[in-house]
């Protein structure tokens, strides 16, 4: 019956629209076209979210899945970003994957140290040792070298020179939650403070966490309070036009005690994928408020992301723990490494999960421009405050009265 009715009616020509002007070629009403277009847009959005969920979920899930030691060694060999035969120190630079530790951890059978003999064999080197490596849950530049060519000793001299001349030669790409606009060079102190959380401490026998101290005391007061002076340079690279995420370039003087995560959380923008310190970023009615250090139970330490972010990533609220910490060591500068006034800069592109996160969030990253515009940053010397002196009044050429 339905077929007969359709045959009896005069069927209008299928509407066509111009791809440039989107003008209709038939008498189809605007309301009908709007509804049809809305349905198509909804279906396209659903398909896009499903595709994104499959892509990001699978990448996040398998980001630390190295499968076998041989596969990991192959990956490390293909990830070499510096191997210069003219470098007398024999320095090798690799792009370390996320989740790979220096030594074998309890929760993984893989580590970089175990892969060094096989990697040295492929490079036709007798032996390799680790000169510099980022944190386990930080990807990026890792330096290796033969132990008999003086690379380690030279690197230690470089570290001393870096402190003397106040360089910030290491730079990290970081994705943070929120639309940040951070462009600054900052000096501050870091102190381990006891927390009433009942959690096991990462850095001491008692439950302590690193805390940023902005009021910097003098050297002896810092020693008494066990505070360490730190410096950092932060620049905003790009922002997402879809969700509240921002890409930053961060150059710290040191990274000990999760400095990057702690400092950015202190600024109100926690690192995407950080479930250690993201709880410090609090908002009330959309406004950031001071973090309460006194009591924070472990259950409240999971990062909080907006619904738009979760939907775009194709993740449920219970799956935020899958997101890896988005910190990548992308630039290592070694001034004078190749000779007098011949600096060595080693760059490493972000890993797949990092790039896919940027692509999904709509954050543009031009590595060529970033490397081209890259500059060495120095922090300023701390000026000691002058001692207060009492004002004086000259009564006579030979008489001075203290006021």
Write the CATH number for 111: 3.30.2350.10
Rg (C-alpha) for the chain, rounded Å, is 28
Dump pLDDT digits (tens) for 102-132: 999 998 999 999 999 999 999 999 999 999 9
CATH of the domain at 306: 3.30.2350
Whether residue 50 is contained in a domain is answered as no
From 111, 140, 164, give the residue that closes a domain. 164
What pLDDT is recorded for position 379?
Answer: 86
391 is a domain residue: no
257 and 148 co-located in one domain = no
Write out the residue range of the structural domain in which residue 188 sits.
167-378
Share of the chain above pLDDT 70, in %: 73
Beta strands 139-145 and 327-334 are parallel
Give yes or no for residue 60 having a pLDDT over 50: yes
What pLDDT shows up at residue 26?
A: 39
pLDDT at 11 (0 to 100): 40
What's the pLDDT tens digit per position in 160-170? 888 888 999 99
Residues 300 and 276 in one domain: yes
What pLDDT digit, counting tens, does each position of 250-262 carry?
Answer: 999 999 999 999 9
How far is the CA of 58 from the CAs of 64, 77, 314, in angstroms?
A: 11, 24, 11
Distances from the Cα of 78 to the Cα of 73, 74, 124, angstroms? 9, 6, 15
Same domain? For 195 and 292 the reply is: yes
What integer pLDDT is reported at residue 208 of this predicted model? 83
Q: Is the pLDDT of residue 400 over 50?
A: no
| 78 located within any domain | yes
> Final residue of a domain: which of 131, 164, 197?
164
Residues 160 and 299 in one domain: no
- With 70 as the cut, is the pLDDT of residue 228 above it? yes
Same domain, 183 and 326: yes
Is a pLDDT exceeding 50 seen at residue 47? yes
Do both 154 and 174 map to the same domain? Answer: no
Count CA within 13 A, CB hemisphere, residue 167. Answer: 18
**157 shares its domain with 226:** no
Please tell me the predicted confidence (pLDDT) of residue 95: 97
Output the pTM of the full model.
Answer: 0.78
Distance, CA of 340 to CA of 338 (rounded, Å): 7
Q: Please, are residues 102 and 92 in contact by the beta-carbon 8 Å criterion?
A: no
What pLDDT is recorded for position 38?
A: 65
Q: How far apart are CA 225 and CA 234, in angstroms?
A: 27
Which residue, of 116, 142, 164, is where some domain finishes?
164
Of residues 150 and 10, more confidently modeled: 150
Q: Is residue 60 part of a domain?
A: no
Q: Rounded to whole angstroms, how far apart are CA atoms 40 and 45?
A: 9
Query: How many structural domains compose the chain?
Result: 2
Structure-model confidence comparison of residues 28 and 252, the more confident one: 252
The arithmetic mean of pLDDT across residues 256-274, rounded, is 94
pLDDT for 82 equals: 96
pLDDT given for residue 221 in this prediction: 78
Per-residue confidence (pLDDT) for residue 288, from 0 to 100: 64
Does residue 188 fall inside a structural domain?
Answer: yes
pLDDT band at 52 (very low <50, low <70, confident <90, very high): low
Same domain, 224 and 316: yes
Q: Are 139 and 157 in the same domain?
A: yes
Instruction: Inform me whether the pLDDT recorded for 133 exceeds 60.
Output: yes
* Shared domain check, 193 and 220: yes
Residue-averaged pLDDT of the chain = 81
Give the pLDDT of residue 15.
42
Q: Is there a domain that residue 33 lies in?
A: no
Mean pLDDT of 31-55: 59
Q: What is the mean pLDDT of residues 46-70?
A: 76
Q: Is residue 326 situated within a structural domain?
A: yes
Based on the domain organization, do 80 and 99 belong to the same domain?
Answer: yes
Residue 24: strand pairing partners: 17
Verify that 174 and 318 share a domain, yes or no: yes
Q: What is the pLDDT of residues 176-227, one digit of tens each?
A: 999 999 999 999 999 988 876 555 555 555 678 899 988 777 778 788 778 8
Binned at pLDDT 50, 70 and 90, residue 42 comes out as low
Asked if the structure places residue 359 within a domain, the reply is: yes
Name the most confidently modeled range: 225-234, 297-306, 342-351.
342-351
């Amino acid at each position: 019956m339905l077929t007969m009715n359709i045959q009896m009616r005069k069927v209008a020509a299928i509407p066509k629209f111009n791809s440039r002007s989107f003008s209709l070629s038939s008498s189809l009403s605007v309301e009908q076209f709007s509804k049809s277009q809305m349905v198509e847009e909804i279906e396209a959005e659903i398909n896009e979210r499903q595709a994104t969920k499959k892509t990001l979920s699978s990448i996040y899930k398998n980001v630390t899945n190295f499968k076998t030691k041989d596969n990991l060694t192959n990956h490390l060999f293909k990830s070499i970003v510096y191997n210069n035969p003219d470098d007398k120190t024999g320095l090798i630079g690799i792009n370390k994957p996320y989740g790979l530790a220096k030594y074998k951890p309890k929760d993984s059978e893989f580590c970089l140290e175990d892969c060094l003999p096989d990697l040295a064999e492929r490079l036709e080197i007798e032996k390799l040792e680790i000169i510099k490596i980022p944190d386990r849950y930080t990807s990026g530049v890792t330096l290796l070298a033969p132990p008999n060519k003086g690379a380690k000793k030279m690197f230690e001299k470089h570290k001393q020179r870096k402190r003397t001349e106040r360089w910030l030669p290491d730079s990290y790409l970081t994705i943070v939650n929120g639309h940040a606009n951070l462009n600054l060079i900052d000096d501050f102190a870091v102190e381990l403070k006891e927390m009433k959380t009942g959690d096991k401490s990462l850095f001491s026998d008692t439950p302590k966490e690193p805390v940023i101290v902005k009021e910097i005391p003098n050297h002896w007061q810092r020693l008494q309070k066990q505070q360490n002076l730190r410096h950092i340079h932060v620049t905003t690279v790009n922002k997402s036009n879809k969700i509240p995420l921002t890409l930053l370039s961060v150059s710290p003087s040191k990274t000990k005690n999760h400095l990057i995560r702690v400092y950015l959380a202190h600024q109100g923008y926690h690192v995407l994928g950080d479930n250690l310190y993201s709880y410090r970023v609090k908002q009330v009615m959309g406004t950031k408020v001071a973090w309460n250090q006194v009591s924070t139970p472990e259950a409240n330490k999971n990062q909080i992301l907006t619904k738009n972010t979760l939907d775009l990533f194709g993740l449920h609220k219970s799956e935020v723990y899958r997101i890896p910490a988005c910190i990548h060591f992308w630039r290592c500068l070694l001034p004078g490494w190749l000779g007098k006034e011949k600096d060595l800069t080693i760059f490493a592109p972000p890993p797949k999960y990092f790039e896919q996160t940027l692509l999904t969030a709509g954050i543009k990253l031009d590595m060529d421009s970033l490397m081209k515009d890259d500059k060495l940053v120095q922090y300023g010397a701390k000026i000691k405050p002058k001692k207060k002196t009492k004002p004086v009044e000259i009564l006579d050429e030979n008489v001075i009265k203290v006021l």
